[in-house]
Structure 1
Amino acid sequence: MLKAKTTKWRVLRRILFALIGLAIVVVGLGILAAWVPMGTAPSGEFKARVTASSNYEDGGFVNKQPMWNDYTGWITSLGDVSDHLEPESPIPVFDRTAEVLSQPPQSLRVTWLGHSTMLFEMDGIRVLTDPIWGESPFPITWLGPQRWYAPPISLEELGSVDAVLISHDHYDHLDHPTIVAMASWDTKFITPLGVGAHLAYWGVPTEKIVELDWWEETKVGSLRVVATPSRHASGRHVLDQNRTLWASYAIIGQKHRLMFSGDTGYFDDMKTIGDKYGPFDLVMIEVGAYHKTWPDWHIGPEQAIEAHRIMRGKLFLPIHWGLFNLALHGWTEPAERTLAAAQKAAVPVVMPIPGEPFELSNTPKLRKWWPEVPWQSADEHPIVSTKDGTPENRYKWEH
């Protein structure tokens, strides 16, 4: 009997060791798969530009207005999950994107390709923002959220692009497989300070990379591209938080002006941006991935409409929604709340289906291409922090 028990224990122990070994192998393979996509720290000239910035303090970049956090709420918010996180049926996608884009525009042409990926065509210049053609905004793609539809146009069909703007280095804005695919393009890559180090690490020649601090600008043909402030954060893993800068962009052409927010919370310098570079013919501000207890680095629909007004916007196009599940709210909620807030504020909105190009002189009729899904309004949320980091309830999330 004793021998039988000993044999049984040896078998169980071998199984346990085998499982532990398998887990170590899986974790190791995951780390190896994620190592290169995680990017690299700024060094050399990249590091020198970072540390010389007035926005860099004590080893990292800082916002002028500190983030607001409800740490207890982070935990309790996990139970506040919508029943409609993802689409239950296929999302309509424009099926003639490549055909339309193959023809020259008559005026400013804009194409929303999903999330924060935009193509602008103005003054004969083509500019792409935060391009993400990859399957998931996560270093181990099969573990992360999956995109809800294929890119409306392939990179091969897209053709030449004069500039690629990167707002910051979070995975849903700086996509490793996309950058690798673009590395050989005859394109100028414009990034905030420090982000260029990731691109160089992935094979983009340094002479194609232009890094900007807040309020600095560069030229792309006849266009002025200004890196304006935003209120957000950066980092691709636990140990690299805020070591690269984040930014929004003002794109100024001969006849038109555009504002691209990247990711941001509400902040006072939005008025300064509008005063210096507005009025903007089109303003694109993120409206998705928020919760009332999360850090106020995502502005939300109602505050986005208010920011549009303060930055002297004319037409509003919501971005940062409709491609990935990155929050706890229903996937259609950002769109519904944006429309409600815009109607209340009398702000004109354009919401094309993914991949639908439009010209500013002929915007598509506003229609709800997403399904009717129940949603709830949020409670009051502090979108502006005072100088000491305490919340200031200047606006409410309403519908």
Structure 2
Amino acid sequence: MLETLLVLVGLSVMGIALFMNLSPQFGGKATETQLQEFGKSRNYKEGKFINLGNVKLEMSGGDMLKAIGGMFKSIPNTTPKQPVSIQKIDSVDIADYNSATRFIWFGHSAFLVQVNGKNILIDPMLGDVPAPHPWLGGKRFSREIPIAIEKLPKIDAVLISHDHYDHLDYGSIEKIKNKVGHFYTPLGLGNHLMKWGIPKERITELDWWQNAELDDLTFTSTPAQHFSGRRLFDRDKTLWCSWVIQSPTENVFFSGDSGYAPHFKEIGEKFGSFDFAMMECGQYNELWPEVHMFPEQTAQAGLDLNAKKIMPIHWGAFKLAQHTWTDPVERVSKKAKELNIDLITPKIGEAFTVSDTVTQNTDWWEK
């Protein structure tokens, strides 16, 4: 009996090791030359990327077990009682659009931004499960996304904030990579893309405060307070960031994942007023306050940025924490009213522009 158990344990360990070493989902690793280049960054220390002030995710072993155990607890309303209803959008509508800057939310943190005749995807996690294997994560709240990946038209640029599975999805990248003009990422993340067959010349990696231009658009990698990693032992081997998207007429901010910190105010001071800010609001827990904001902090961060309008993101698609699935939008809506911040809450798949006011759908999640 003991020998059989040992054999089973050995086979399981071997299977996990093979999966982690042979499966492409885990991405690539930096070369020695790249590591030397990373060393020139102010955000790289002792072989890892760091946050401003060297803020770290402070979780003890007990906290980790508590967090893992919490994911298996039966907590009411952490997922919708029925699939979330979304709004579909036609591929022709996307391909033919050439008007005011338009946004389409895919749920969680994934967006299609149409600006100045260009299509930009942000954190395109368009798959069903935010994990390296379907057995390792919960399914998307909706049965489908606003448009099938295969029906997306040419994508001029993809912006990625960091390499966690709910933001960088191997399956999604595989399906879109041949229709994407260029990928923009924080330092080190390009290795994952190259591992997945994307040529180096179609990838631009940026440190915080560095920018890249695409015709009349400027993409700037700005700070976030978070962490990175796709394997068991690659914590903080790639950088994470937020993004500023500037056109000749608009300033747009995308928070990526971040705890609340002074960098929001610094970004606001450097870039002036933002016309629109997509702000992380979901998957928070008292066990990890350093790396994810609570909804009240999301509203305050919008104020720090001097954003004219904010939209809560990082919710509405997956269960990655123990709060109810509507808690983020309910709490941030309340706080935004207190702070007199213009908040928009479009339905997943609803196309909207910055000037639209009809996106104040304060009850679609209740329906």
* Normalised TM-score (structure 1): 0.84
From 347, 355, 369, the counterpart of 2:364? 369
1:210 aligned to 2:198?
no
Which residue of 1 is the match for residue 132 of structure 2?
Answer: 139
Which residue of 2 is the match for residue 39 of structure 1?
Answer: 27
Q: How far off its partner does 1:132 sit?
A: 1.1
Q: How far off its partner does 1:159 sit?
A: 0.5
Distance change (3 Å), C-alpha of 1:70 and 1:168 = closer
For 1:280, what is the secondary structure of its paired residue?
coil
Greater Cα offset, 256-265 or 28-37: 28-37
For 1:259, what is the secondary structure of its paired residue?
strand
From 89, 94, 116, the counterpart of 1:101? 94
Whether contact under 8 Å (1:97, 1:355) holds in the other structure is no
Whether contact under 8 Å (1:116, 1:320) holds in the other structure is yes
Q: How far off its partner does 1:83 sit?
A: 1.2
Instruction: Specify every segment of 5 or more residues in structure 1 that has no aligned partner in the other structure, as ranges.
Output: 1-11, 373-399
From 336, 341, 351, the counterpart of 1:357? 351
Which residue of 2 is the match for residue 84 of structure 1?
Answer: 77
Q: What are the Cα deviations for residues 62-110 of structure 1, in whole angstroms up to 9, with x where unaligned?
A: 1123136363555556568731111111211002353532431421101
Question: Could you tell me how far apart the structure 2 residues matched to 1:25 and 1:371 are?
Answer: 47
- Map of 1:315-334 to 2, 5 A cutoff? 315-334=309-328
Q: How far off its partner does 1:44 sit?
A: 5.2
Instruction: Specify every segment of 5 or more residues in structure 2 that has no aligned partner in the other structure, as ranges.
Output: none
Which residue of 1 is the match for residue 115 of structure 2?
Answer: 122
Q: What are the Cα deviations for residues 5-27 of structure 1, in whole angstroms up to 9, with x where unaligned?
A: xxxxxxx67xx72x655565455
Q: AA paired with 1:369?
A: W
Tell me the number of residue pairs that the alignment of Structure 1 and Structure 2 aligns.
Answer: 358
Distance change (3 Å), C-alpha of 1:313 and 1:73 = same
Whether contact under 8 Å (1:125, 1:221) holds in the other structure is no
Larger C-alpha radius of gyration, 1 or 2?
A: 1
Question: Could you tell me how far apart the structure 2 residues matched to 1:170 and 1:291 are?
Answer: 17
Question: Could you tell me how far apart the structure 2 residues matched to 1:225 and 1:45 are?
Answer: 26
Greater Cα offset, 281-290 or 363-372: 363-372
- Map of 1:1-399 to 2, 5 A cutoff? 17=4, 21=7, 24-25=10-11, 28-34=14-20, 35-43=23-31, 45-65=33-53, 66-67=55-56, 69=58, 71=60, 78=69, 82-98=75-91, 100-149=93-142, 150-367=144-361, 368-371=363-366
Q: AA paired with 2:44?
A: Y
Whether contact under 8 Å (1:81, 1:329) holds in the other structure is no
Question: Could you tell me how far apart the structure 2 residues matched to 1:24 and 1:163 are?
Answer: 45
CA-based RMSD of the aligned residues comes to 2.2
Question: Could you tell me how far apart the structure 1 residues matched to 2:41 and 2:274 are?
Answer: 28
For 2:323, what is the secondary structure of its paired residue?
coil
Q: How far off its partner does 1:122 sit?
A: 1.2
Distance change (3 Å), C-alpha of 1:76 and 1:189 = closer
Q: AA paired with 1:59?
A: G
Which residue of 2 is the match for residue 396 of structure 1?
Answer: none
Greater Cα offset, 191-200 or 19-28: 19-28
Whether contact under 8 Å (1:38, 1:139) holds in the other structure is yes
Question: Could you tell me how far apart the structure 2 residues matched to 1:315 and 1:220 are?
Answer: 25
Greater Cα offset, 116-125 or 78-87: 78-87
For 1:342, what is the secondary structure of its paired residue?
helix
Runs of 4+ aligned structure 1 residues displaced above 6 Å come to none
Question: Could you tell me how far apart the structure 2 residues matched to 1:30 and 1:86 are?
Answer: 29
